[in-house]
Structure 1
């Protein structure tokens, strides 16, 4: 059964991803293994067999959700662009894919891991700060949070398929304070990881 979609504000980011969805689906494919694989393996190593993952800003489901599914972990995905969710439903029809806004999300259940890869950093600084209670509410004690950010405080504009996308980041110290304040321990952090396409990656664990 497909879960009901959730209200999504018409943000510029959602509109931009909706516009580039065909290009994104064609180019964001699943190399074997994907460059994100070491981080995904480190996250999944903390999960019980078959434990579920929540993917916030799941895009078209590849390669992250697909990797988790291939490792035996069911995925629930949230994305604000209906075209992205349509691609997920076509690729992985047995999973739960929901059009929705990660901000203020309340699914009423917990997961073994939450991912916000190349999605969380599109939120404003204030919206990012407000996401940490959302992360915590959707994780069991000991659950893993994997997200990407910028390497330093600031804003930048990137371009995909001719469409501009805003990126925001807090400072590493701000992220560490927010994580600690919401009961997360940092298990791994690399700024501009050269083995992962220059992504700045955080792997954290909810204590308790």
Structure 2
């Protein structure tokens, strides 16, 4: 059983209470993420639809995509962060929703879960892969970040515990394959991307 501090259920409340602080701390432009974002968008047609899962306040990830002409739909469990997205990018769709129960009844040309999916528990992460598939068009790339090995890693944000978890690299590969995603690239603790463990996969199966 997790301790009170090692509890993924605290994440939603944390990002509601500290939305303004998180937004202030988050830079508006891409720096280390740019190479992965460019690799991701190289797989897309102009004007492609993108589902940003755990979009935060829309910066820098959604901002980068919107400025390049993509149609971004953002999902986040924090109403204050979604309100910031709506104020900044009113021509895009922003939805308050828990990614663990996401069911939008539509599919997208690409999906991204950058620095969001890893706040879920191990079991909740496993359950996300059918959700990714449910929202992916055939050929859709999926870009997401994880930890480097099976573990729980606790951080801190404004004096509160910040939960992160990861499955093993092999299990992520198996989960992707089970839903028809082929791994294009995976770098563990990429030194050129701030130590992120990054996955780029593509949905290759229909149905």
Same fold (TM over 0.5): yes
Rounded Cα–Cα distance in structure 2 between residues aligned with 1:54 and 1:48: 15
CA distance in 1, matches of 2:43, 2:144: 16
Shift of residue 70, structure 1, vs aligned partner: 1.1
1:129 and 2:122 matched? no
Q: Which runs of no fewer than 5 residues in structure 1 stay unpaired?
A: 1-9
Residue of structure 2 equivalent to 1:43: 40
Give me the TM-score of the superposition, normalised by structure 2: 0.92
**Displacement after TM superposition at 1:163 (Å):** 2.3
Q: In structure 2, what is the equivalent of residue 206 of structure 1?
A: 203
1:22 aligned residue:
20
- Are the equivalent residues in 2 in contact too, given 1:34–1:63 (CA < 8 A)? no
- Alpha-carbon RMSD: 1.2
Cα shift at 1:106: 1.0
Structure 1 position 199, deviation (Å): 0.5
User: Which residue does 1:6 correspond to in 2?
Assistant: none
Aligned residues: 198
| Paired position in structure 1 for 2:55 | 58
Gaps of 5+ in 2: 1-7
Q: Which residue of 2 aligns with 1:116?
A: 113
TM-score by length of structure 1 reads: 0.92
Measure, in 2, the Cα distance between the counterparts of 1:195 and 1:20. 28
Alignment of 1:192 onto 2:169: no
CA distance in 2, matches of 1:121, 1:115: 12
Instruction: Give 1:37 deviation, angstroms.
Output: 1.1
Separation in structure 1 between the aligned mates of residue 35 and residue 100 of structure 2, nearest angstrom: 28
* Secondary structure, counterpart of 1:139 in structure 2: coil
Does residue 107 of the first structure (1) align with residue 98 of the second (2)? Answer: no
How far apart, in 1, do the equivalents of 2:186 and 2:193 lie? Answer: 12
* Cα offsets for 1:170-205 (capped at 9, x unmatched): 000000011111111111111111111111000000
